[in-house]
Amino acid sequence: MRSKKNRKKIKKFRIFLLFLSIVIVIFLIVFFFSPKEKDKLLQLGYTKEEKNIILNKVGEENIDSILKYGYNKNIILLMKEKAFQKEHLKQYIEALSLFQLPIKDIIFIVNSENYNKRYPYDSYLVSVMKSDYYIPSYLDRYIKYYQNNKNIKSEELITRVNSNLDYPFYTDSQKTDLSKGYLMIVNKYYHLDRDYVPQNLVTISSEYGRAGQQVEEKTYKQYIKMYQDAKKEGIHLYIISPYRSYARQNNLYQNYVARDGKQEADTYSARPGFSEHQTGLALDILSPTSTMDNFITTKEYHWLLKNAYKYGFILRYPKGKEYITGYMFESWHYRYVGEEVSTYIQKHQITYEEYYAYFVKEKQNKK
């Protein structure tokens, strides 16, 4: 006969087997009969067609966000867009709940390089982001400027911020990036050191302007080409002021301040270190018989307006752009930037400030 001890062991073993069997049965029921993730989509209200779109676009392993969000037709519309990227699924769904924007714009803002749910995305901000010359790294500045200037159009907002007009003139100025060569910028936000002198200055011949003055060598060569072509058409050009040293500009500026006061002088004269003439790339051009006051009435002025860009020159301070350049309209002041850049500026009628921000400075930041 079996001992009581053995019978107890057998009883315990049978109980264990029964418990184990129950656990296994429960596991199998859960495993085989609980709804799969894809079936949960149907339970939320998605059709079979919509379920297939979701699975094809993001895969079963990436639909937790959809399940948490519940049924929303906009999710399907998102996935039907060509620009949809499955790695941004969570951000798309987040943006849907935060911003009242069309589906295409939701995808646009999320796909942008600096999407941040804390930004006040609305139709205006989207229009800013889609504007020509929009710079992503300036987005905080665009938003801040708009908050203080509610009636400004998006294109004008871009122009102003790209030109640094969200800062007062001559505040927090930076050193000019000399590595940019012919595309360096000098204005009321970028300055040259007092000891900066261009390395390749050449002396102007009396045939082309006031003798004894100097100008950067390539700028001079391009001016001579322009001069000679203009002469064939009966147009006579004459350089009155090319390169100026820091000291020379300082003397001029101080004289103007003494005569007209600082506020007035700043509208037509650069402070020392902030003058393009110190680069050797700027030329004040008149005809031999005209003055700055009447040059706008001459055939030479109108010829330059139409043709200077062909030789790499731009009218640096154009009419109507005073608020951008910081200077009054100067019909005589031309700056050498190279033919490719001058052609673009001529075609699009933008200032060099606008060109530099988008095509020179921003290009550097993306490297």
Domain positions in the chain are 4-34, 174-354
Strands 333-336 and 174-175: unpaired
Cα dihedral 283, 289, 292, 297 sign: negative
Q: Which pLDDT score is estimated for 297?
A: 97
What is the mean predicted confidence (pLDDT) over 95-106? 95
Residues contacting residue 152 through CB under 8 Å, at least 6 positions apart: 145, 146, 160
Residue owning tokens 């938003």: 143
What is the mean predicted confidence (pLDDT) over 67-95? 91
Q: Which pLDDT score is estimated for 31?
A: 44
Integer Cα distance of 98 and 101 in angstroms: 9
Residue 32 has pLDDT above 60, yes or no: no
Beta bridge partners of 354: none
Integer Cα distance of 28 and 294 in angstroms: 96
Confirm if 37 and 60 have CB atoms less than 8 A apart.
yes
Residue 64 has pLDDT above 90, yes or no: no
Q: Which pLDDT score is estimated for 366?
A: 54
Lowest mean pLDDT among 19-28, 173-182, 316-325: 19-28
Q: What percent of the chain has pLDDT over 70?
A: 88
Helix ranges (H only) for 48-205 are 48-58, 64-69, 73-80, 89-98, 103-111, 123-129, 139-148, 154-162
Q: Which pLDDT score is estimated for 1?
A: 46
- Token pair, residue 211, equals 């003798």
Task: For residue 24, name the pLDDT band (cuts at 50, 70, 90).
Answer: low
Cα dihedral 312, 317, 323, 326 sign: positive
Strands 174-175 and 190-191: parallel
Residue 349 has pLDDT above 70, yes or no: yes
Residue 225 has pLDDT above 50, yes or no: yes
The more confident residue out of 363 and 262 is: 262
Confirm if 256 and 268 have CB atoms less than 8 A apart.
yes
Task: For residue 9, name the pLDDT band (cuts at 50, 70, 90).
Answer: low
What is the mean predicted confidence (pLDDT) over 201-227? 97
Task: For residue 30, name the pLDDT band (cuts at 50, 70, 90).
Answer: very low
- Token pair, residue 25, equals 């049965």
Residue owning tokens 């300036």: 138
Residue 2 has pLDDT above 70, yes or no: no
Helix 139-148 and helix 154-162, axial crossing angle in degrees, nearest 10: 120
Q: Which pLDDT score is estimated for 172?
A: 83
State the greatest distance between any 2 C-alpha atoms of the chain, in Å, as a whole number.
138
Q: Which pLDDT score is estimated for 21?
A: 67
Lowest mean pLDDT among 58-62, 262-266, 269-273: 58-62
Domain 174-354, CATH? 3.30.1380.10
The more confident residue out of 299 and 25 is: 299
Task: For residue 354, name the pLDDT band (cuts at 50, 70, 90).
Answer: very high
Helix 89-98 and helix 73-80, axial crossing angle in degrees, nearest 10: 130
pLDDT digits (tens, 9 = 90+) for 303-320: 999 999 999 999 999 999
pLDDT digits (tens, 9 = 90+) for 141-150: 999 999 999 9
Integer Cα distance of 305 and 242 in angstroms: 19
Confirm if 48 and 42 have CB atoms less than 8 A apart.
yes
Which pTM does this prediction carry?
0.84
